[in-house]
Amino acid sequence: SWRKARIKITKHALWIALAWWTGSTFIGYFAPIRELGHELFTLQLGPWQWFWMLFYGFATWGNAGFMRESVCKYMCPYARFQSVMVDPDTFVVTYDKRRGDPRGGRSRK
């Protein structure tokens, strides 16, 4: 429907704007940001600046706009090593089976 298409277009337009910002700020680490902004709006960037801006912009758009949870699930190292960073003295906030739940089981209603 038109409503769903409008929502998707808006969502991807926002992701593309964020991706453009990510790519341009990455280049800003290596080039003066004020001159970079002027060159970007006048379309006078060099070939490597265009390449890296588009590369990081596309990577951000792809990862955030399409892959979402897969990035965290398969690419984020924290999820992989979190379970090995626990020892017997680590404070873990979880359900304690020994204490039980004084409220009893959940009602079916």
Note whether residue 59 is domain-resident.
yes
Q: Sorting pLDDT into bands at 50, 70 and 90, what band is 101?
A: low
Note whether residue 43 is domain-resident.
yes
Is 19 within 8 Å of 57 (Cβ atoms)?
yes
Distances 46 to 3, 20, 30, 39, 53 between C-alpha atoms, Å? 40, 16, 13, 9, 11
pLDDT at 12: 87
- Whether the pLDDT of residue 76 is over 80: the answer is no
Note whether residue 105 is domain-resident.
no
Note whether residue 90 is domain-resident.
no
- Whether the pLDDT of residue 7 is over 90: the answer is yes
- The tokens describing 109, both together, are 């209603």
Note whether residue 92 is domain-resident.
no
pLDDT at 6: 95
Q: What DSSP designation does 83 have?
A: G
CB atoms near residue 13 (< 10 Å): 10
Per the structure, how many domains does the chain have? 1
Q: What is the mean pLDDT of residues 21-31?
A: 86
Q: Which residues span the domain enclosing 74?
A: 2-85
